A and B are shown apart, each in its own frame.
Chain A
Amino acid sequence: KQEVTQIPAALSVPEGENLVLNCSFTDSAIYNLQWFRQDPGKGLTSLLLIQSSQREQTSGRLNASLDKSSGRSTLYIAASQPGDSATYLCAVISGGSNYKLTFGKGTLLTVNP
């Protein structure tokens, strides 16, 4: 059974700082890994999708890496801004899962002005 763990559970940083969020998964047989953002009272917004054959994806100030063999992914946020404050969720689609997403519990990020 796939399990996804995210560290840290919460993170508070001053504006402008670069930061890294971590995600690990127990079964390396995945199709892809996604990072989502969730704002309070809102649904999930997909930030980056890394296919199993890829090592990283970039979008603006966001860079996500994937090391499938070790079951790890990181989300790097450069030059953080108060608007980046949200919960960041990592999720994987495992082989034979009918495309089901398995989520971690998320990291609550607060960027202080």
Chain B
Amino acid sequence: EAGVAQSPRYKIIEKRQSVAFWCNPISGHATLYWYQQILGQGPKLLIQFQNNGVVDDSQLPKDRFSAERLKGVDSTLKIQPAKLEDSAVYLCASSLTRLANQETQYFGPGTRLLVL
């Protein structure tokens, strides 16, 4: 079974530039998550999709971050304009969303973003 795919793996940009990340979840997984992991911290959920609808985006900085999941499969996360504090690893995860106590999320390798 193929895992969660993410690209690019690394990205270096200057502040105020734009950047986009792509995620392809495990086939058949209805739920997709984007997490932000700042160095030395645990991952923090930015946005959660169920099929192509948003379930939770309460921690997404909507003035600069946007995400979409067209056709309920692939997803893109965009930052425009980027700030220095956006330097982090952006992790994508997917799950089947069965019973809550059995919920397991599968993570991609992440995209490491450095904003200069």
A-side residues, CB < 8 A to B, are 4, 31-32, 34, 36, 41-46, 49, 51-53, 89, 91, 93, 98-101, 103-106
In the assembled complex, B95 has its CB within 8 A of some CB on chain A: yes
Interface contact B42-A41, CB-CB below 8 Å: no
Chain B 39-61 interface 0/1 with A at a Cβ cutoff of 8 Å (1 = within) = 01111110010000001100000
Known contacts A4-B42, A44-B107, A46-B106, A100 near B56 by CB under 8 Å: yes
Which of the candidate stretches B14-22, B71-79, B97-105 sits at the interface with the other chain?
A: B97-105
**Interface status of B112 (Cβ within 8 A of chain A):** yes
Interface of A is mostly: strand
Cα A19 to Cα B44 with chains together (Å): 27
Residue contact B55 to A98, C-beta cutoff 8 Å: yes
- Assess A99 versus B100: contact at CB under 8 Å? Given A43-B109, A44-B107: yes
Return the chain B residue nearest A52 by Cβ: B101
> Which of A32, A41, A43, A51 interacts with B108 by CB under 8 Å?
A43
Known pairs A42-B109, A99-B97; A105 contacts B102 (CB<8 A) = no
Q: How far is it, in angstroms, between the C-alpha of A99 and the C-alpha of B98 when the chains are bound?
A: 10
Number of residue pairs across A and B with beta carbons under 8 Å? 65
User: Are the CB atoms of B103 and A43 closer together than 8 Å?
Assistant: no
B24 CB to nearest chain A CB (Å):
14
Chain B residues closer than 8 Å to A41, beta-carbon distance: 109, 112
Q: Which of B4, B48, B108, B110 contacts A100 (CB 8 A)?
A: B48
A103 touches B101 (CB 8 A): no
Q: Please report the C-alpha to C-alpha distance between residue A105 and residue B42 in the assembled complex, in whole angstroms.
A: 4
**Cβ B42 vs Cβ A98 within 8 A:** no
Bound-state Cα–Cα, A52 to B108, Å: 26
B87 CB–A CB distance under 8 Å: no
Distance, CA A105 to CA B107, complexed state (A): 17
